Amino acid sequence: MAKVKCQNGCQQFFHETTDQFDPEATPHGGMFSLMEPFRSNGWNSFPEHVGVVGSALECPDCGAPYADSSNRVKLDGDHVPTSAPPPTAADVIPDIIAHVLALSAEGKKPGEIGAVVGLSHKKVGALIKKHGQG
């Protein structure tokens, strides 16, 4: 069973899929089951049977339809990016320093290094002074 995300509204999870759920089929009420503790708390939700389709399948909290414009619902875990997130500035800066020092160790001048890493020769010089050894 997978949780159904309120993709058009509050982005929360109130229903999970049932055995009837088929991602290739038109979603209907029988494919979804109101989760606990909402069910026990008496939340008012759409009837969980095959006759309930389209915009009737709506979030019991905010009322947004679960299905998107192509009549697909979004499940928890759908489209999770598998690649690493883009590096933040904090990740990049040590890389630049390491790059600068490596080029410096090869005997490159600050102006040449700056052209490679995208810094002014003054900044390159300052980095080498601050982080370099010797």
Provide the binding-site residues for Zn ion, judged by CB under 5 A: 6, 9-10, 59, 61-62, 64
CB of 61 to Zn ion, least distance (A): 5
CB of 42 to Zn ion, least distance (A): 18
Q: Which is nearer to Zn ion, 9 or 30 (CB)?
A: 9
For the chain, the first-to-last Cα distance in angstroms comes to 61
Q: Which is nearer to Zn ion, 59 or 67 (CB)?
A: 59
Q: Which is nearer to Zn ion, 43 or 116 (CB)?
A: 43
CB of 25 to Zn ion, least distance (A): 23
DSSP state of 71: S
SS (H, E, C) 37-65: CCCCCCCCCCCCCCCCEHHHCECCCCCCE
